[in-house]
Chain A
Amino acid sequence: MKVKPKIIAVIAAVALASAAALYFYLSMETPPNPVQLLGSGATFPMEQIQAWIVQVRNKHSWVQAEYAGGGSGKGQSDFLQGIVDFAASDPPLKTADWEKAKNAFGGVYQLPMILGGVAVVYNIPEIPSDVNLKLTGEVLVDILLGKIEYWNDPRIAELNPGVNLPRSRITFVHRSDSSGTTEVFTTYLSLVSGEWKTKVGAGKLVKWPLSEAGFAVGAPGNPGVAEAVRTTPYSLGYVELAYAKGLGVAALRNRAGRFVLPTADTIKAAAAGAITIQDASANLVELKILERLLQSQDPNAYPIVSPSYLLIKHPSAYTQEKRKAIAVFLDYIFTDGQKPENIVAGYVPVPESWAKLGQQVAAQLRDFRG
C-alpha cells in the first residue's frame, strides 16, 4: 500500500505530460499535405521564377513548385498538352493557341508577371569600360541592314563625340535558336524603321541581312550570344539585361530624345505607361502590349522593354488541392514577390495595375467552388 501514492504520482505525471503534448499538438496549425506544381517555358524569367519558388517554399512549405525552363515555345506546347500546371511565355498565346487552350481548360489566364530589358551589347577594346557607346534605333537598323559597316562611321561618331572609335568592321551576333528576345528586338527595329519592317520584319527567327553578307554569326541562347560578344572583338549583339554583365552596354536614344541605359529605373519608366488589362482571360494578342511598351514616350524610358507572361488554366481545370496551391503561389508572386527585395537583379516588377490583375486571379482560384 505504501507504493500507491508513487504510482498515482507517476500516472498523473504521464497524464499531464500527454495532455500537454496533445494540447501542443492540437494548437499547432497542421500544415496541408504537400502539393507539387510543375511549370515550364521561357528562359528569360527563369531565374526570377526559381527565386519565387524558393521564397514561396520558405513561407508555405506545402506549396512545392518546380520550373523546368525549355523556352517559350516548349512552355506553350507543354501547357496545351496538359503536362504542366503553369507555364511562362514571353509573347502571349497566338489567337489559334489561345482558342485551343480555352476549349481544353474552359479558359486561360495570361498574367504579365515580370519586366525585363533587352540590352544592346558590344565588344570594342578601345572603349574604356566606364564609357557607354550611344546609339539610336535608326543607326542600329542601318548597321544591321549593312549600310553602316565600320565602327568609326560618321553617323556613329556623330553620336559619340570624344570617343575613340576604331576603323574595324562590325560583326553582328544574333540568336541561332528560336527566341523571344529576338522577337522583342526585331519588333523594336520594325517600329523604328519601315524599311526593316518590310525587308526583314519581326519574329522569333528572322533572316538577318548581315548573315548573307557574312558579317553575322549565330549563337544559342542568351549565354551563347553574351559569350560570343565577349570573345569576338568589334562585335555587336543583343541579350536580356541580366546577361549583359561584363560587356559594353549601349545607351539607346528613346522617343523623348534622351540616351538611356537599361537599368531597373529606366525599364520601370517605360512600364509606367503600360496599358491596363481588363480581363486576363481575354485574347491578349489583340492588345498589342509589347508594341505599346516599345513606343513609350516617357523621358526616362529605356526603349526595348518587354513583359513575360504566366499562363494559368481556368480554376475548374485544376484539382481542389492544386487550385489552392496555385492560388497561394500566384498571390505571393503578385504581392510580396513584386517587392524590390524579392526581385532578382536584372528584372523589374510589373506596374501596379498588372499586379492587381494577378491578385484578382489568385483570389478567383482561391474562392472557386466547383
Chain B
Amino acid sequence: MISWRLRRTMVDKVTFAAVAIASIALLFVGAHVILVALVEGLPVMAEKGLRLFIESPGLPGGGIGGFGPTLIGTIVMVLTASLAGAAIGVPTGILMNEYSSWWLSKIAREALQLIAEIPSIVVGLVVFVLVVLPMGRPSALAGALSLCITALPYIAAQTRESLAAIPMSYREAAFSLGLPKWKTVLRIIVPMNLRGIATAVLLGTMRALGETAPVLFTAGAAFHAFYGLDRPSSTLSLLIFFFAQTPYENWKRLAWAAVLQLIVLSMVLAFAVRKLSGEVKL
C-alpha cells in the first residue's frame, strides 16, 4: 500500500515538475526575445531619439539614419489592410454565426479555411500576379491587399467566435417581441458585441503587422520616402528582413531598432485586445 501511495506522489511530483519546466521554458523564450530586442534596440533608440522616426536609413557603413518612411508605410498598409479586412471579415463572421445553415455561409467557412491554410508567401505571389503585374509596379496598395487577405480569416473567425458566446436566450427574447431576424442581428446582437468585433479586427491588425512574406513581392522596398498608396513602399518587418542580412553594422543596428519598434507596436495591440476582450458586454 505504501509503495502505491509513494508511486502516486512520485508521479504527481514528476508531472508537476515537467509542467513547471515547460512553462518556465516558454516564459524564458518570451523573455529572451524581448530582452534581446531591448538590449540591442534601446541603445539605438536612445542614441537617435525622435529622429529615428523621421529620417530614412543611412548609407551602408555610415550613420544609422531612421525608419521614418517605413513607419509611415507600415501604418498606412496595416491600417488599410485592417479596415478592408474589417469591411469584409466582420459581415462574413456575422453571416457564419447567425445564418450558419445557409449554403452561402458554408461556402464562406470553407473559403476562409482555405485562405487560412495557404502559406502567406503564396498569397503574396497571387497578389503579385493579379495586381502588381497589371499595375506595372509594386505598391503600398498591393501590399495592403495581401496583408488584408492574410488577416481576413482571423477577423472573420474571431467575430464568429465572439458572437457564438452570446446566449441564445437574447435572440429568443428579440424574436418573441416580433423582431425579424435581420433586425435582431443588426440592432441587438452586433451592438451587444461591439467589443468582441473590435477585438477581432485588432487581432487581424496584429497579424498584418507581423507578416513579412505577403509584402515581399507586393509592396516593393522603398525605404527612403513614402510616395503614396499606389507607389512602392515598405513595412517594418520588410526593413528588418532586408537590413539584418547585410554585413554593415549601422544597418544591423537600424534593424534592431525596428525589431524593438515592432515588438512595442505588437504589445500595445495585444494589450488593447486583452482590455477589450475581457468580457462580452451584456
Give A contacts to B, CB under 8 Å: 36, 38, 40, 46-48, 50-51, 53-55, 57, 64, 66-69, 81-84, 221-223, 226, 242-243, 245, 344-346
Q: Is the CB of B247 within 8 A of A38?
A: no
Identify the interface centre among B137, B221, B232, B248: most chain A CB within 10 Å of its CB. Answer: B221
In the bound complex, do residue A68 and residue B225 qualify as a contact, i.e. CB atoms below 8 Å apart?
Answer: no
Assess whether B225 is in contact with A51, with CB atoms less than 8 Å apart: no
Complex-state Cα separation, A206 to B223, whole angstroms: 35
The answer to whether residues A83 and B247 also contact, given A36-B227, A38-B232 and a CB cut-off of 8 A, is no
Check A226 against B247 for contact (C-beta < 8 Å): yes
Q: Are A66 and B247 in contact (CB under 8 A)?
A: no
**By the criterion CB–CB under 8 Å, are B224 and A53 in contact?**
yes
- B138 interface residue per 8 A CB criterion: yes
A36-B60 contact given A67-B221, A245-B247, A346-B247, CB 8 Å threshold: no
Measured in the bound complex, the distance between the Cα atoms of B133 and A69 in whole Å is 18
Q: How far is the CB of B11 from chain A (nearest CB, A)?
A: 41
Choice from B59, B224, B248 contacting A66 with Cβ under 8 Å: B224
Flag whether B231 is at the interface (Cβ < 8 A). Answer: yes
With A36-B231, A54-B224, A67-B221 known to touch, is A345 a contact of B61 (CB < 8 Å)? yes
Task: Please report which residues of chain B, range 34-64, place their CB below 8 angstroms from some CB of chain A when the two chains form the complex.
Answer: 56-61
Secondary structure of the B contact surface, majority rule: loop
| Contact-size category for B | 20 to 34
B9 in contact (CB, < 8 A) = no
> B222 within 8 Å of A by Cβ?
yes
- Closest-CB distance, B231 to chain A (whole angstroms): 6
Do A66 and B223 touch across chains, with their CB atoms under 8 A apart? yes
B60 touches A221 (CB 8 A): no
In the assembled complex, 10 residue pairs joining A and B whose CB atoms fall closer than 8 Å, in A order, are A36-B227, A50-B57, A50-B59, A50-B60, A82-B136, A83-B133, A84-B137, A242-B247, A344-B60, A346-B247
A54 touches B59 (CB 8 A): yes
| Shortest Cβ distance from residue B242 to the other chain A in the assembled complex, whole angstroms | 7
B15: interface (CB < 8 Å):
no
Q: With A47-B248, A221-B245 as given contacts, are A66 and B61 in contact (CB-CB < 8 Å)?
A: no
Contact pattern, B 185-222, Cβ under 8 Å of A = 1, otherwise 0: 00000000000000000000000000000000000111
Name the CB-closest residue of A to B225: A64
Shortest CB–CB separation between residue A87 and chain B, in angstroms? 13
